């Protein structure tokens, strides 16, 4: 056997000795193993989760393995290659780790093998000649506390070779650290040899059998994360990340506050201005850029502020692509109206309580505080909850149908997922949507723990941008549907990846088709009326309001960042949303839409909102072939902002909540899992608003009390939205309308309004008199509605 082995090595490698060259390797062993020669006892790992997905070192689709305190390994799953082997660790920073936008995890420490010498290039020889092939990452499996990565090599003639790699940290007899890679190949044809190596040497794997590569290294001294400041091009970025500046400011785009480009362009860079702006940052204030105030920052030192301003002023000459040639838009103000009574919950401002027709049960507790990324039910009633946090976990909850949170069994069944924002159960199988991959989770041994993470689709385009979320997950007619948000931090010379800002339809074979384009942050997809797919989108650049969108093939949804250079000069017309969700009024970051199953609202839709909080109700109708309708306030009273909704087998609506302190939250709350169940009590409110030729019909849940209705009892406004490159957008031609005629139906449940001056493609806002009552003496739960009048029906 040994003779055979050395002959094999002489034949197929250029010699093992070369590894000594740079003094890196103590020695290297190339062993051919027979299968099952490796009894393993589970290892202690230095991190939980020890195998995790993330962006790492500005590379997307990375898998990091914290094998030992002395050894980390990372694989680039885009190229299916070992990326780095090092002693040190990973700085876990970014939204899910430290509530900081813009940044992502980075590795620190010292590599055991220099980049150039890392044996990470795959080679395929056919009769001794190198041939072209494709290598794909297929997932990984956990067994006995170890991980095995699974790859597939596809040869030109269609042959598919399975290639498994089990990496592990090892030590030799002297205690020197080492790295072992156990390979297993399957379906390798006779004339084919598979190798892995660097530019100098290649190690050939045994065909259709196991082989092991081992290397031992000089021990490295203890490692420490480099001082944070070394990781930054400019210290100002570090100080601003450590403070809250990026919550409201972006470099090129106006958000809550002005962009750095705008600030740098407005002011001279001199001592007086530094003093003036420094005071403003410390004290906060408004009035220079608009009415929104900046919060005070009394804890910042003079030095920190100077460094931040130095950084802001580096943007002085940089003019972003989006800002070029942007028309200046004047907002048209609505003419002043009779003063309204001060707003109270549901009447001009958000509701405060839970909808009276529903009872709320809290399911989270002190030991389980999920930042819910997604929800789904197993056929046996078990609730799956994925978490948008540093654990990237999926939990299985048993017993949620009872109303006793104490009796719920909670088990973490999967972890190490990158921002899992979608879950679906299809024929009992669990699918989870990560930032960069749709993954099937498999429990192979029936212990309710996931041991296999199988790639279903990872074909869509990604960069390292923190804002490139994948939202989902919907399964319908044998396909998966997801949405992809746009990158936020591209440099002026970079373009969005063409797959961003789209709804994707993914087939079981992993191929996908893009249905529409021009979405911004579409954090919600679901099946709505008529079995149609709806997504929600967040206001921001090019989105003057939040939206509920009917997904239509080929539709352009208005966010211009993803347009090609040619299109950008002459942008296509935006397909209007089914419903505009005016910012701060009835939305701020809408999330998952879902079809209503109960009560008088059956057949309507609901959607959550992360920063506006609560759940909103959507009545949708089709006019001239186009979906449109009204959004109503529905329920508040949840612990945190609402991210995901799912109907449980017990008929309750499960509400998954999330928040990130510093911008993406409702009242700074970060977690929550609750359910609401219909209790049969009636709530007096508008049930539906239907467009009619020249007016509207408003239907109520209960007959109105006997009372004359005058035009003044129904306040109506209309406006339209102009998408601009700026954050949010102006209401255009904003005006008050006066109903010319108000009629009440015989059954007192409907009123008919003739409203002269209504215009298509406008938002129509309704606010009913506060003292309107039902025949049984109820007051209105909420008096407002926003109807999106895409089409006016013809008589």
Q: Which residues bind ligand HEC (CB under 6 A)?
A: 240, 243-245, 247-249, 256-258, 263, 277, 280-281, 285-290, 292-295, 297, 308, 312
Q: Shortest Cβ distance from residue 304 to ligand HEC (Å)?
A: 8
> Toward ligand HEC, which CB reaches closer, 152 or 304?
304
C-beta separation of 70 from 177 below 8 A: yes
| Cis? peptide before 49, omega within 30° of 0 | yes
> Toward ligand HEC, which CB reaches closer, 244 or 598?
244
> Toward ligand HEC, which CB reaches closer, 263 or 575?
263
Cα–Cα distance for residue pair 313/268, rounded to 1 Å? 9
C-beta separation of 471 from 421 below 8 A: yes
Q: Shortest Cβ distance from residue 248 to ligand HEC (Å)?
A: 3
Cα–Cα distance for residue pair 149/323, rounded to 1 Å? 45
> Toward ligand HEC, which CB reaches closer, 174 or 317?
317
Burial status of residue 239 (CB atoms within 10 A of its CB: 0-12, 13-18, 19 or more): buried
Q: Shortest Cβ distance from residue 282 to ligand HEC (Å)?
A: 9
Regarding beta strands 348-349 and 344-345, do their DSSP bridges make them parallel or antiparallel, or are they unpaired? parallel
Q: What is the largest CA-CA distance in the chain?
A: 104
Q: Shortest Cβ distance from residue 722 to ligand HEC (Å)?
A: 22
Closest CA to 152 of 176, 127, 124: 124
> Toward ligand HEC, which CB reaches closer, 263 or 673?
263
C-beta separation of 394 from 374 below 8 A: no
> Toward ligand HEC, which CB reaches closer, 237 or 393?
237
55 alpha carbon, distance to own chain's centre: 14
- 3-state SS assignment for residue 66: strand
Q: How many CB atoms lie within 10 A of CB 302?
A: 11
> Toward ligand HEC, which CB reaches closer, 280 or 316?
280
C-beta separation of 22 from 117 below 8 A: yes
> Toward ligand HEC, which CB reaches closer, 277 or 640?
277
> Toward ligand HEC, which CB reaches closer, 548 or 610?
610
Cα–Cα distance for residue pair 177/170, rounded to 1 Å? 6
Q: Shortest Cβ distance from residue 194 to ligand HEC (Å)?
A: 53
Cα–Cα distance for residue pair 103/465, rounded to 1 Å? 8
Q: Shortest Cβ distance from residue 665 to ligand HEC (Å)?
A: 13
Q: Shortest Cβ distance from residue 494 to ligand HEC (Å)?
A: 24
| Cis? peptide before 473, omega within 30° of 0 | yes
C-beta separation of 759 from 789 below 8 A: yes
> Toward ligand HEC, which CB reaches closer, 296 or 793?
296
For residues 260-298, one letter each, b for 16 or more C-beta atoms within 10 angstroms of the residue's C-beta and e for the rest, the string is bbbbbbebeeeeeebeebbebbeeeeeeeeeeeebeebe
C-beta separation of 247 from 256 below 8 A: yes
- 3-state SS assignment for residue 485: coil
C-beta separation of 666 from 640 below 8 A: yes
Q: Shortest Cβ distance from residue 272 to ligand HEC (Å)?
A: 13
> Toward ligand HEC, which CB reaches closer, 290 or 757?
290
Which whole-number Å values give the CA distances from 270 to 267, 276, 287, 309, 631, in the listed order?
A: 9, 10, 22, 11, 50
Backbone angles phi, psi at 116, to 5 degrees: -65, -25
Closest CA to 599 of 702, 752, 750: 702
Q: Shortest Cβ distance from residue 93 to ligand HEC (Å)?
A: 17
Q: Shortest Cβ distance from residue 663 to ligand HEC (Å)?
A: 8
Q: Shortest Cβ distance from residue 274 to ligand HEC (Å)?
A: 10
For residues 610-632, one letter each, b for 16 or more C-beta atoms within 10 angstroms of the residue's C-beta and e for the rest, the string is bbbbbbbbbbbbebeeebbbbbb
Which whole-number Å values give the CA distances from 36 to 30, 185, 552, 584, 773, in the listed order?
A: 17, 14, 53, 62, 77
Q: Shortest Cβ distance from residue 260 to ligand HEC (Å)?
A: 8
Q: Shortest Cβ distance from residue 125 to ligand HEC (Å)?
A: 57
Q: Shortest Cβ distance from residue 243 to ligand HEC (Å)?
A: 4
Rounded-to-10 torsion of CA 195, 196, 199, 201: -70
> Toward ligand HEC, which CB reaches closer, 4 or 328?
328
Q: Shortest Cβ distance from residue 692 to ligand HEC (Å)?
A: 42
C-beta separation of 561 from 486 below 8 A: yes
Q: Edge-to-edge strand order for the sheet containing 129-130?
A: 129-130, 121-126, 192-197, 202-204
C-beta separation of 525 from 423 below 8 A: no
Regarding beta strands 479-484 and 470-476, do their DSSP bridges make them parallel or antiparallel, or are they unpaired? antiparallel
> Toward ligand HEC, which CB reaches closer, 139 or 257?
257
> Toward ligand HEC, which CB reaches closer, 236 or 370?
236
DSSP string, 563-598: S-HHHHHSPPPPPPPSEEE-BTTTBSSEEEEEE--S
> Toward ligand HEC, which CB reaches closer, 212 or 251?
251
Q: Shortest Cβ distance from residue 734 to ligand HEC (Å)?
A: 22
> Toward ligand HEC, which CB reaches closer, 17 or 290?
290
Q: Shortest Cβ distance from residue 262 to ligand HEC (Å)?
A: 9
Q: How many CB atoms lie within 10 A of CB 341?
A: 10
> Toward ligand HEC, which CB reaches closer, 273 or 744?
273
Q: Shortest Cβ distance from residue 311 to ligand HEC (Å)?
A: 9
H or E element, residue 261: helix 260-266
> Toward ligand HEC, which CB reaches closer, 317 or 746?
317
The CA-based angle 289-290-291, given to 5 degrees, is: 140
């Amino acid at each position: 056997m040994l003779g055979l082995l050395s002959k094999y090595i002489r034949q197929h490698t250029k010699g093992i000795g070369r590894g000594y060259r740079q003094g890196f390797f103590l020695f290297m062993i190339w062993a051919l193993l027979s299968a099952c020669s490796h009894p393993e006892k589970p290892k202690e790992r230095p991190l939980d989760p020890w195998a995790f997905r993330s962006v790492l070192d500005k590379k997307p689709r990375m898998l990091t393995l914290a094998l030992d305190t002395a050894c980390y390994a990372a694989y680039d799953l885009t190229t299916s290659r070992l990326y780095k082997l090092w002693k040190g660790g990973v700085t876990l920073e970014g939204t899910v780790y430290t509530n900081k936008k813009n940044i992502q995890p980075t590795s620190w420490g010292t590599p055991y093998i220099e980049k150039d010498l890392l044996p990470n290039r795959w080679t395929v020889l056919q009769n001794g000649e190198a041939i072209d092939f494709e290598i794909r990452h297929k997932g990984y499996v956990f067994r006995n506390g170890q991980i095995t990565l699974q790859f597939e090599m596809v040869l030109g003639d269609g042959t598919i070779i399975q290639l498994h790699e089990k990496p592990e940290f090892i030590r030799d007899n002297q205690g020197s650290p080492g790295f072992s890679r156990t390979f297993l190949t399957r379906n390798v044809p006779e004339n084919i040899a598979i190798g892995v190596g660097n530019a100098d040497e290649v190690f050939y794997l045994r065909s259709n059998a196991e082989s092991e590569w081992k290397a031992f290294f000089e021990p490295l001294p203890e490692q420490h994360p480099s001082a944070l400041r070394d990781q930054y091009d400019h210290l100002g970025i570090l100080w601003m990340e450590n403070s809250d500046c990026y919550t409201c400011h972006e470099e090129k785009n106006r958000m809550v506050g002005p962009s750095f480009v705008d600030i740098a362009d407005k002011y001279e860079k001199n001592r007086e201005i530094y003093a003036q702006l420094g005071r403003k940052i410390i004290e906060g204030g408004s009035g220079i850029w608009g009415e929104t105030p900046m919060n005070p920052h009394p804890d910042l030192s003079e030095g920190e502020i100077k460094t931040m301003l130095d950084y802001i002023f580096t943007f002085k000459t940089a003019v972003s692509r989006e800002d070029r040639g942007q028309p200046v838009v004047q907002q048209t103000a609505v003419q002043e109206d009779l003063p309204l009574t001060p707003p109270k919950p549901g009447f001009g401002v958000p509701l405060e309580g839970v909808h009276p027709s529903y009872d709320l049960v809290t399911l989270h507790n002190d030991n389980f505080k999920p930042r819910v990324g997604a929800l789904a039910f197993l056929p046996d009633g078990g609730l799956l909850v994925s978490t948008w946090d540093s654990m990237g976990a999926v939990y299985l909850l048993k017993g949620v149908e009872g109303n006793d949170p104490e009796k719920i069994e909670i088990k973490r069944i999967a972890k190490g997922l990158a921002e899992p924002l979608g879950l679906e159960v299809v024929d009992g199988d669990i699918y989870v949507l990560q930032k960069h991959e749709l993954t099937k989770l498999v429990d192979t041994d029936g212990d309710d723990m996931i041991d296999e993470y199988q790639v279903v689709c990872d074909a869509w385009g990604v960069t390292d941008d923190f804002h490139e979320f994948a939202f989902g997950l919907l399964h319908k007619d044998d396909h998966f549907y997801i949405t992809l948000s746009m990158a936020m931090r591209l440099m002026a010379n970079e373009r969005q990846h063409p797959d961003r800002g789209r709804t994707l339809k993914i087939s079981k074979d992993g191929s996908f088709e893009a249905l529409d384009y021009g979405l911004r942050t579409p954090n919600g997809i679901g099946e709505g009326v008529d079995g149609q797919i709806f997504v929600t989108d967040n206001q921001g650049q090019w989105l003057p309001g939040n939206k509920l969108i009917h997904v239509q093939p080929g539709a352009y949804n208005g966010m211009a960042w993803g347009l090609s250079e040619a299109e950008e000069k002459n942008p296509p017309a935006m397909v209007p949303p089914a419903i505009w969700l005016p910012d701060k009024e009835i939305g701020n970051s809408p999330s998952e839409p879902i079809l209503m199953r109960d009560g008088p609202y059956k057949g309507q839709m609901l959607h959550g909102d992360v920063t506006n909080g609560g759940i909103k109700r959507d009545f949708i109708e089709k006019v001239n072939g186009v979906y449109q309708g009204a959004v109503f306030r529905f329920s508040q009273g949840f612990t945190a902002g609402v991210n995901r909704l799912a109907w449980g087998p017990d008929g309750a609506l499960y509400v998954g909540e999330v928040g990130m302190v510093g911008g993406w939250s409702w009242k700074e709350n970060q977690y929550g899992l609750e359910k609401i169940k219909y209790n049969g009590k009636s709530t007096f409110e508008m049930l539906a608003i239907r467009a009619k030729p020249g007016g509207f019909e408003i239907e109520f849940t209960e007959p109105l009390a006997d009372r004359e209705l005058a035009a003044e009892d129904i306040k109506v406004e209309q406006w339209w939205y102009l998408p601009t490159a700026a954050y949010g957008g102006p209401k255009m031609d904003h005006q008050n309308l006066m109903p010319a005629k108000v009629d009440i139906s015989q059954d007192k449940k409907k009123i008919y309004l003739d409203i002269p001056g209504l215009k298509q493609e406008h938002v129509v806002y309704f606010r009913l008199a506060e003292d309107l009552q039902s025949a049984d003496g109820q007051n209105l739960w909420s008096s407002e509605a926003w109807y999106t009048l895409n089409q006016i029906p013809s008589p």
